Amino acid sequence: MATFLLIHGAWHSGQVWDRVSPLLESAGHRVFAPTLTGYGDKAHLLGPEVGLHTHIDDVTGLIEHERLDDVVLVGHSYAGMVISGVANRLPERIAHLVFLDAMVPEDGETAVDVLPVTKQLVDLAVDGWRVPPMPEQPPPLGLFGVTDPDDIAWLRSMLSDQPVRCLVEPVRLDNPAARTIPRTHIHCVGGRPAGITRRPVPAGERTRELPTGHDCMVTTPVELAGLLRDTA
């Protein structure tokens, strides 16, 4: 059975995987869904010094502390930046990378480079360093693609501010071994906000689709768990 390491995106916390983790565990897999520095129950650690490399350190530290090997490393949204950096540092520990409706950077790029619309968030940051969660929009966009009122209330309870440094700090991807790790891209193809575009998926990398909004772990956990099991 596989070891899944599920990494949440910007503003979220590890709690967002609560509907997916039991489905993987019931199939016999081992699952970790940490909360990164500055979010959820670690929101008290939020500060202008928290950046992309802080979160890469969080995940590499967990892998090393738990002595994890053959990891299926899943990154949602902004966490595509994080898992790319982790794979660059510890390619020998990673069996598969899953970019879940995620940013997919090249060497030296920032989140703003990958998704230029993010620059608007940086420009509007409170106190120059933190970005509040995105506001709810009319359906079909909702709150990160979540439109059910009960789901929105649950999701909103776990959101916290996003540090700007996460969005402007470049990722180092200079380890050739990391490019040999198999990759799967899962695209959420429900309603998408204006200005959100995807880069073409390189030849030889798998692509799967979910007919739902961005936070598919909230809206379609059963379907998502099935796609993740296929990567193990």
Task: Report the alpha-carbon distance of residue 176 to residue 150 in Å, rounded.
Answer: 45
Task: Report the alpha-carbon distance of residue 171 to residue 79 in Å, rounded.
Answer: 12
Per the annotation, the verdict on 77 as an active-site residue is yes
Contact 208, 227 (CB under 8 A): yes
Task: Report the alpha-carbon distance of residue 96 to residue 54 in Å, rounded.
Answer: 22
Tokens of 207: 């692509």
Q: Which of 77, 84, 157, 160 is catalytic?
A: 77
Contact 202, 180 (CB under 8 A): no
Cis peptide bond N-terminal to 140, omega within 30: yes
What are the residue numbers of the active site?
A: 77
